[in-house]
Each structure stands twice: as structure tokens, then as C-alpha cells.
Structure 1
């Protein structure tokens, strides 16, 4: 009975926000520097609470610098809670204990442990930071260097937004609900086989990674926290204590809805149904931006229905050269001919970085951004979190934001659908793609 009541409340949170005092504000963050600076500013300006829910966090300089700012926030009396996916946390156990000594609460979603085999394939994919229940950052960025411009080779191109008001309060309710579910537990020191999964973290070979593997004790961890913050300030150009007013250039008084799953087992498929409803309402144009368009049947048929209505459909995704998930690209490659035959315009991202933004723009009015990938995992397995709106001003801002990424893409010619874009991809990558295409349909539902 209690669970049913909670579900009703959470479902109500996805209804349109009323006009007037309860309307929300939103500001799209322009690039990795602004996205990082906004997070730094909100943490330093926090007075009561900071809650984070992320798919991935590791011991790169950027996330460790943010962890140092979170540690400093606890010294001001701010309550800090961090929730991360159980398979994507790269924080050593002793380091977690050090952070906990300052009052930082750390939990994981579906940690690997005996007795829950179904948990292994159900992941927490949201990317959210809520501050004082009134400000939040949502989007596609994970807490890793590659998402914030501090990279060694290839980086990720994301789309984040900072939100204020009623919509931020809704994200707080969502986080509180998720934090209290049985799916969220303290990080286990050992997995179901008795192997210390944390002993292999962090991964990689560098002086920084080696320093983390050698660290053993509070003094070592605090030294690494300080070094990370110094590097981020110097190399990323991040300012500390700038007192920036992020609301000054935001769009105010618009209706924004929080789109999320209403049960941790995704039995209601709420996100999928809502996305398809948005697609089915398209009348003129629909632009889907997804780094991993391994469309399942429901999304694929929604695209076909849109084309049958005469809707101009454009899909922006990675090329063979830029993709970091070859299995997903193989699944998309198998659908490419059918999409082109229906008149769908395909554009593939080119360059040194990997497209990671997840957005949708319909009729220059309805829009969505967040963690949703338009694939089977997003529809049936992973917990996703997005914001959606029917506000034309927000849609215009998103289109302007999208233009930068569209300018870095190349159209796929309808007559040449095999390897039309990404000709700079290595021969081995091409060969692996052809092999994967022959078997990928056997497990498309797990991509």
C-alpha cells in the first residue's frame, strides 16, 4: 500500500508544472568548461545539502577535485550524499572510508553481490547533482576527465543543463526516493566470488594512477585530493569562489517536466512510453541526438510512423571513427539501410572526440535532454533521468546548442550505407565491425 502511494506521488511529479510562481528556470551549459564551472560553483555555494547520482565516477583529476570540494562543504555543515552505479564506481574502498570520516555518505546502486543475479544487467544511468533542493545539474556527463575537457586522447561531447525552482525540487524528491530503495546499498568490499573488486581500481597506467594504487592512509588521500583540485584549476581554468549567478542568463517561467522511471525494476516502462508519445506527436520535424542508437522495435517503429506522417526525421550519432561502442555501432549499421530507404536523414559526428549528448527536438517546440539513449537498455534495463518541455524558447536554445555538433557531422548519402562516414577509422576497426554485424542481432536487447 505504501509503495502504491509513493508511485502515485512520483507519477504526479511528471505532470506539467503550473504557470506562475511554480514555473522553473533552465540554462543550457555551453561546453565542458562551463559545465564543470557550474558544478564547482553550486558545490561552493551550497548551504544545506548536496546530492549526486552518477553512472560513473573514478579517480581522475576532475572527479577527485569535485570530491575535495564536497569534503570542504561538509566542514561548512553541508550534508553530502553520493550515489553511483555499482559496476562503474572506481573509488578504492579505503578512500571511500576516508570520505565517510568527514560525513560524506556513499552508496551504490546494484552492487555486485551474491543472491541478486538480475542486478548485474540493471544499471543506474542517471547523471544528476542537486544542491539545497533548489538548484540542479542534469544531462549526459559522467564524472570522468573525458567529459570535462581534461583528456589524454579522446574526449566526450555532452549536453548538460542547470535547472532551478520547481523542477529542481522534483529532482530532490526523485533522489530521496532512489536513495531509500532496497536497490541502493553500501559498497561491498568483495563481490559474490569473494574477490576484492575494489583492489583493481583505479584502472590505467600513469603516474597519477600509480599514485592512487600506492595510496594507503588519510595523508596520502588528502594529498591526492589537494593535487587534483590544483590541477583542475590550472589546466581547466576553473575559478574558485567566483560567486557566479547562473540564474542571470537562464530562461525563466517555463514549464519543465522531470522524466524518470517510477519503479526501480522498470516494470512500468514509463520513460519509454513517454518518449514514444513525444515522437508520435511530431508533425513537421524530429531531431534525435544519441551516441548509441541501437534502436529497439518500439523506437524504430515510432520513427517509421513519423516518416509515414511526412515528418522530417534527422538522427545525429557517432561515426565509425568516433564511436566508443563498436557493438552499438554495428547494431545501428544493420538498421542504416532501412532508415535511409524511409527518408531518414542520418548525420554522423566526425573529429577527435566522441559524441555523448542525448537530446531530442520536435517541431522546434518540444524537447528533451538527459541520459536516455533511445536503445533497449534505456527502455528496459537502466534507470534514466531526463527533462522534457514544450517551451519554444527552450527549444530554440537547444537548437542553437545542437548546431555546434551538427556542424561537426557529415550527412550519410542514401546510396552508400556501408561505411560512408568515418573513412579515417582503422582497418582493424572496420574488420571488427563487419564481424560484429553478423552476430549483433542475437543480443541487441542487451546493448
Structure 2
């Protein structure tokens, strides 16, 4: 079923007549609270997405939320790979887990597999205490691993502030194994506290509440072409005139990390591919980095799913900032009798206070619409992102329902369609999160910093769309 054109989207409540809708003046429409912007119209009117028929190859998926299980599955599958390993990440630290991942990637390259890694340059450089050092990168390059940085920019150069690539960042969390035709995706970056691991000081720190899915089937044919698009938009690291002794030392650290990982996570003789469960259909969706902000593959599918929703819609993300288009579509769904739930992080379980304050400015209006809002109370940071419709379809990946995900960040994910699988796997996880949440409004800002953040959130709601980089 193709998209409805924006001419078919009601701009007033369904109870008003067609005659009154036509007689409404342009000035009144601009004052309407839920009026759509020209950019929202362009998104709905694009009308490019048409659902594809079910593939002949059996699609399979395995849902994981335990971080130790995710690590074991990644290492076991990676050690079996003999053809190609392609990883694409937003944050990839040089700490213990990051070094283990690099060591496993190096080991795969030494076995003859092609090893490639793409990281977001701005995000990686922002974590300077934990960033991958140049000597490690050089050792990996010499050992056959290809590493590129996505949209490298220097904020010491004033001209980069006017370059759109400075604001288009890679938000992937993908691990593709070509020989086994397996894709890992979810919301976990390659950082210690994404896996409830010890930090550099040996202390057990906070962890993100995240999810991951391992998939296999016909959808992997769509993965590699899209990842090649990301590879083409990235640039290799230029590493010259480095001390060879430091490079050898970095190589030694990689070998130690690999030995520790093989002791801590010994290879499981059972094949993780046997744990994959058959599902009706899996579709991979990902932004083309060269067309970000012009083509919206993920948002187009989300809009289509909202329009077809009959019973229930669940949106989970820690960084929600619903556009007028999404609010209008959800309002129409509620008018059809669809239950809409938003699950987000509370002030205590959110790692981005500014984003939380921006969402707080929408809460009153969303509740008035009839949307149920759940605040996760922790103790871990809620980082899972998913979109569930009628307990039948689920979008899993890195996509947040905010301006950055739509217009700036290069996102990816998978859409799984299977009522039984979604109800058992995703339904159980959502039930657990709801039990750890409450529906009460979050406490009002108390400290000066919280007040400033809350005021900043209100200001951001009034800034024109082209300056909203959050």
C-alpha cells in the first residue's frame, strides 16, 4: 500500500466537515497548533516506499538484551568468519572492549578475511580520554585492517562550520559478517559502559539498557551496498612518521587483549546461527549518507506503519523530540482508536539532560492528545530504541525520534515482521521496562543547571528547523 499524499492527510479533526476545512484561511492554518511545515509535507508527499513481497529465502532473527550474551555471540561469530568483516560505528573507544574488538578484527584479517571499520570522526575524537590512539591504527593498517573516518572535519577551521558534512554524523551500530550472511545491529556503541564492563580504573560503572538483534536471510543483500555507500563517504586515516617502537607496542597490546578475550570469552563449540528463529520477513533500512536530508527511507517506513496501525503503537527512545508531522500522525492514529505509548528515560536514567528538557516541553501537549508516557527509572541509562506496531512489526536500530535522526544523523536498522516473534521477544522486554517505569510527570527542575537546561529546551523548540542540531 503506497503512502497517502499530504492532500489526503486531514489538517483538522475528522469531525469537521469538508466545507469548513476548505474555507479555513491560510492565516488560521498557520496558527493551528499541529500544522505541518513544508519539510513535513515534502516527507509525506515523497511517496517512494512500496512494501516488497515476502522473499523466498527464510529470514531469521535472534533478540538479545544481556550484554554478556551479546559479546559472546559477537566474538564467536567473528572468529568463524573467513570472508569479510565490516563494522560501522558511531562511538568506538580504545578502551578494553574496543581494543578487544580491534584485536578480533585484526585476527580475522590475518586469517584471510577482509576487515573494514568505519567510525564517526567527530564522535570518536570527542572522547579523547578513551579514543583509539594513532599507533594502534597504524598497527592495524600494517596488519591488513582497513579503517576509515566518516566525514572528517576540523572545528579549528571556521569554514567547516558552514559545511553540511560537519553536522551529518554516522550513527550506525552495525557488524556485518559476509561469509555467514549475518548482521548484528542495535543501539550499542563499542564502549565499556555499553556492556556493563569495568572501566580503565577497574571500577564497575554504569551501563546502558540496550538491545541487539542478530539477523540472517535475504535482507543481507541490502546491507553491503548501503555500507559501501558509507565507505565511499569516508576517508582513510593518513598515518605517517610514527615511531615504530610505539607501533610495535600497540601491536603487543592488541595481542594481549586478544589473549584476555579468548580466556574470558572462550569460543563456544555450538554455532550461534542455530539460535536464530524463523520470522516472516526482515527488511534492512539505512540512510544513504550522500542523500541525507533529501531521502528519508526510515521515516517513510515509520509513517507507513503508523498509517496502517490498528491497535497499538509503542515508541521507545531516550532522546525523543517529536516533529509536528509525527504528532499529527499519532493524533490521527488515536482518533482511529489506536493506543499510543512513549517510553523514554527519566531525569535519573538519561545521559543527555538537554535532550530530556527538550522532550519535557512536549509532555503536556502529548498527554492532552491521549498518549501514555512512561519514564524509565533506572538504575541503568535507558538507551534502547525501538518502534513497535500492533505487536506485529518492530523497527530495531539506532534511530531516535528527533530532528537529528531525520535530517542529520546517518541511521540504520531492521524491520522485523512476525506477530509471534514480536509478541514473545519484544513484548517480554517492553513488559519488563514498563515494570521499571512510572507514568508520573518527572520532578520539576530544582538546581540552577536544571533550570537553564529546561529553559534551553524551550528555546530550542522556537528555533527554526535548520539550526536544530540536537
1:87 maps onto 2:134 in alignment: no
Cα pair distance change 1:263/1:111, threshold 3 Å: closer
Name the residue aligned to 1:436.
456
Q: Deviations 1:165-202 (Å, cap 9, x if unpaired)?
A: 2122321222123213xx21113679xxxxxxxx9xxx
Q: Show CA shifts across 1:12-55 (max 9, x none).
A: 999536343x1311111131111111111121011111000111
The answer to whether structure 1 residue 399 and structure 2 residue 427 are counterparts is yes
Residue 33 of structure 2: aligned partner: none
Matched, 1:187 2:230: no
The one of 209, 212, 228 aligned to 1:160: 212
For 2:375 and 2:239, how far apart are their aligned partners in 1? Answer: 42
CA-CA distance at 1:388 after TM superposition? 0.8
Aligned to 1:243: 269
Any conservation in 1 of the 2:279–2:418 contact (CA below 8 Å)? no
Query: Where do 1:111-190 residues align within 5 Å?
Result: 111-113=152-154, 117-133=163-179, 134-151=181-198, 152-180=204-232, 183-187=233-237
Of stretches 393-402 and 132-141 in structure 1, the one that deviates more from structure 2 is 393-402
CA contact (8 A) 1:111 1:187 kept: no
SS at match of 2:188: coil
3-state secondary structure, aligned to 2:349:
coil
Give the alignment's TM-score, normalised by structure 1.
Answer: 0.83
- Calculate the TM-score normalised by the size of structure 2: 0.79
Of 101, 125, 150 in structure 2, the residue corresponding to residue 66 of structure 1 is 101
How many angstroms does 1:439 deviate by? 2.3
Q: Which runs of 5+ in 1 are unaligned?
A: 1-10, 191-198, 200-213
Match in the other structure for 1:345: 372
Q: Which moved more, 1:362-371 or 1:144-153?
A: 144-153
Cα gap change, 1:391/1:280 in structure 2, threshold over 3 Å: closer, same or farther?
Answer: same
Match of 1:252 in 2: 278
1:361–1:399 contact (8 Å) kept in structure 2? no
- Find out whether 1:370 has 2:391 as its counterpart: no
Structure 1 residue 149: Cα displacement: 1.4
CA distance in 1, matches of 2:206, 2:451: 21
Displacement of 1:155: 1.4
Q: 1:391 to 1:430 in 2, by over 3 A?
A: same
| Corresponding residue SS for 1:439 | helix
Deviation at 1:336, TM superposition (A): 0.3
- The CA deviation at 1:360 is 1.1
Q: Would the aligned equivalents of 2:77 and 2:272 in 1 still touch at CA under 8 Å?
A: no
Distance 1:125 1:233 in 2: 29
Residues 193 and 208, structure 2, Cα contact 8 Å, conserved in 1: yes
CA distance in 2, matches of 1:318, 1:168: 32
Bigger mean CA offset, 299-308 vs 318-327: 299-308
Distance 1:354 1:61, change over 3 A: same
Distance across 2 between alignment mates of 1:12 and 1:251:
31
In 2, are the aligned partners of 1:331 and 1:441 still within 8 Å (CA)? yes
Alignment of 1:101-116 (within 5 A): 101-113=142-154
| Alpha carbons of structure 1 residues 75 and 291: separation in structure 2 relative to 1, 3 Å | same
* 1:272-421 equivalences in 2 (<5 Å): 272-396=299-423, 397-412=425-440, 417=441, 419=443
Counterpart-to-counterpart distance in 2, 1:215 and 1:367: 49
Match of 2:54 among 18, 22, 28: 18
Show the counterpart of 2:42: none
Shift of 1:429: 5.4
SS of residue matched to 1:315:
strand
Q: Which runs of 5+ in 2 are unaligned?
A: 1-46, 125-130, 199-203
Worse overlay, 91-100 or 363-372: 91-100
RMSD over aligned Cα, in angstroms? 2.7
Q: Which moved more, 1:394-403 or 1:113-122?
A: 113-122
Q: Which residue of 1 aligns with 2:85?
A: 50
- Return the offset for 1:405: 2.2
Alpha-carbon distance in 2 for matches of 1:436, 1:232: 44
Distance 1:126 1:257 in 2: 16
Q: Is the 8 A contact 1:52 1:83 kept in 2?
A: yes
Please say if residues 327 and 440 of structure 1, whose CA atoms lie closer than 8 Å, have aligned partners that are also in contact. Answer: no
Displacement of 1:154: 2.1
Per the TM alignment, residue 233 of structure 1 is displaced from its structure 2 partner at its CA by 6.2
- The alpha-carbon distance between structure 1 residues 14 and 382, as it changes in their structure 2 partners (threshold 3 A), is farther
Work out which of the two has the higher radius of gyration on C-alpha atoms and give 1 or 2: 2
